[in-house]
A and B are shown apart, each in its own frame.
Chain A
């Protein structure tokens, strides 16, 4: 499974719940639906390609990791 962020097209924001349902139907495990147009969750490598074709999907991107230095570091 890979963690992904799906960016929903501007003109589908009012129907973001439907977009999330369609993503679930294609194998995405949806963890959150954000009203500003993002659906996050995870998907298997096998199912990932199919998500981009869902109506209203702008992009499907693997989630990035962010990491701060430890608190004692001088440069943060």
Chain B
């Protein structure tokens, strides 16, 4: 592992690793120039700024570029990266930064930093910090919790939409199809009037109308409106096309047959995201969901499932990720409360492949739509966390055009890292594109 070298300050050498010394970094005197992806040839851009002696990574063929080899050059260009290391005057740097006008050819010019391997002093400091953090957690858990950011429902929006920053997002999931496989949907709910909604029942003898409430709640979180008929906003991807597949009966029960049919329907309809807020308490992955998850990803469809509510953390039982979330190809979502802590019921990762919690979402006292005449209700569970992740995924799908594995990747990469154990929250709280 390397980290940027840090400057000597007030007579303390950087090797001492003093936090007081952390300010301006040590630089080499060279600069790093990042070119736009669809820019011009880097060499010609550099040339126009007066840097004519340019070495290219192409000249080095199969071996690594040796900067000392190229040190006679004004600049070394790493062609595949679109990045150059340059020795330049202030005038030349200014010329580079001004290149391209409204469509910059040069994205950034930054001083080259000196990096070094973490020395023993840093390891000792890291160990000390780790011990200090652990003892603080053991002694003062309450104080640590009080310091964490707390969210609460406001007149404008639910705490979950604030925490995921969905309220500030510039995108709505427009043009993205989102499937919610659940107990169906209340088509008479006034908050969804005028929306693009496709419903289908896979439960024998029952229409797609939600006779339970769970499906309408999950649909509301993932795809509810920007401006509900009354009360705060609770829905994330308000511009998405809704595909509500009923795979669980009005009594809340379902089978593989209905669920696989629902996944098949979502994939055939080109849904980019499928939200599945149900699970069976089986530690072993179920082969049909492993195949379904993989084939869906191959077709650019991301399946997102609730990790499960089988923990009883106060009793020391951390539960485990159940079926179908423990398929290696289905994203498992754990729950968070308003302090971004893990609620007592939220399942922990299994040691085996696929059994991990991948990301986390708001899953405590979540306000969303409920079948009329109730209209709204607040409930808790990883069932509520999964549609938060699905809604955020729909926003990323619109913002980036990514599907399938790329969508999974950006969702995990952009999530906020948390102090909670990764076994409980994966790569953290899902965050909407801004």
Contacts and interface: CB of A to CB of B under 8 A. Distances in A.
Interface of A: 3, 5, 7, 10, 31-32, 34-38, 40-41, 58-59, 61, 63-71, 73-76
Contact of B254 (A7, A66, A71): A66
B255 A76 contact: no
Given A38-B292, A75-B381, A66 B263 contact: no
A75 B277 CA distance: 12
A7 B287 contact: yes
A64 B287 contact: no
A40 B256 contact: yes
10 contacts: A7-B287, A32-B257, A32-B261, A38-B264, A38-B288, A38-B291, A40-B256, A61-B288, A64-B280, A64-B323
Q: Which of A59, A65, A67, A73 has the most CB of B within 10 A?
A: A67
A59 B381 contact: no
User: Closest 5 CB pairs between A and B?
Assistant: A68-B252, A40-B257, A76-B381, A34-B264, A63-B256
Nearest to B212: A71
A37 B253 contact: no
Contacts of B291: 7, 37-38, 58-59
Nearest to A67: B253
B425 interface: no
Nearest to B299: A36
Nearest to A59: B287
Interface in B313-338: 323
B389 interface: no
- Interface of chain A, main secondary structure: strand
B372 interface: no
A19 to B, nearest CB: 14
Interface string B334-349: 0000000000010000
A64 B255 contact: yes
A66 B345 contact: no
A38 B286 CA distance: 13
A40 to B, nearest CB: 4
Contact of B257 (A3, A58, A67, A71): A3
B56 interface: no
B213 interface: yes
B259 to A, nearest CB: 7
Contacts, number: 103
B257 A68 contact: no
A61 B291 CA distance: 12
Contact of B253 (A34, A38, A58, A66): A66
B95 interface: no
B270 to A, nearest CB: 13
A71 B259 contact: no
B384 interface: yes
A27 B277 CA distance: 34
Interface residues of B, number: 39
B216 to A, nearest CB: 10
B113 interface: no
A66 B268 contact: no
B279 interface: yes
B248 interface: yes
Interface in B184-207: none
A5 to B, nearest CB: 5
Contacts of B255: 3, 63-66
B87 interface: no
Given A7-B288, A76-B380, A35 B257 contact: no
A61 to B, nearest CB: 6
B309 interface: yes
A61 B279 CA distance: 17
Interface in B237-293: 248, 252-257, 259-261, 263-264, 267-268, 277-280, 282, 286-288, 291-292
A41 to B, nearest CB: 8
Contacts of B309: 75-76
A76 B335 CA distance: 11
Nearest to A34: B264
Contacts of B260: 5, 34, 36, 38, 40
From A3, A58, A59, A66, residue with most partner B Cβ within 10 Å: A66
Contacts of B214: 68, 71, 76
A65 B253 contact: yes
B132 interface: no
Interface string B105-141: 0000000000000000000000000000000000000
Contacts of A70: 252
A68 B286 contact: no
A24 B183 CA distance: 31
B165 interface: no
